[in-house]
Amino acid sequence: MFITFEGPEGSGKTTQIRLLADWLIAQGRGVLITREPGGTRIGNGIRALLLDNDHTEMIPRTETLLFNAARAQIVHQVIRPGLEAGQIVLCDRFADSTLAYQGYGYGQDRAELARLIHYATGGLLPDLTLFLDVKPEVGLARKQAGRAQEWNRLDARTIAFHRAVYAGYWEMIGADPERWRVIDSEQPAPTVHQAIVAVLAERLRMKESL
């Protein structure tokens, strides 16, 4: 099973992925955690380029191509092998982030982005996408209050950009409600975790009953 976590900056994806992985392991499941961009040696190098606050001259088209280059590598090297080995793969962001940030945020042609994503992933889609819902202003304030090194080039975009990304996520959720599950991430972390566990327990029961 391939499960992706999406959401605005500061929505708590990294924390919740770790908590979910611990829960799944306790249930006797094999789990693989990874992230975008990154997850491979090549992807981590691309991540450093993408998030560096000094790269203010990077244009949206370059950004889009770099994200999808890292994505092609992680799908080939990490995600597909994990799925083929029977693991539950948990990924911090995936293709929906490109549609949200580079599509809705920057206003790039989403049909073109979808074609590029399909090429990069070979058509791989998540079985389940968990959207950790937090208002952009709340999430950015959380992230600013954290470690300074976590504040990156994309975080520094205007609030209008982040609001457009947020609205884009909701449009995608409405277009594919079977794949997405919305989790209120403005609650305390343990409460968010229990909501995620409830979703996963139901999905695993459904999968095993087939």
Residue 127 has what pLDDT?
97
Per-residue model confidence (pLDDT) at position 150: 67
- The list of the chain residues with pLDDT below 70 reads 147-151, 209-210
Provide the domain limits for residue 156. 2-209
The CATH number of whichever domain residue 14 belongs to comes to: 3.40.50.300
Number of helices and strands (H, E) in the chain?
Answer: 9, 5
Sign (positive or negative) of CA dihedral 198, 203, 204, 205: positive
The whole-number pLDDT of residue 167 equals 98
- Tokens representing residue 110 in the block: 């989403």
Query: How far is it, in rounded angstroms, from Cα 148 to Cα 170?
Result: 29
Amino acid at 200: L
Number of domains in the chain: 1
pLDDT of residue 210: 54
Contacts of 123 (CB under 8 A, 6+ apart): none
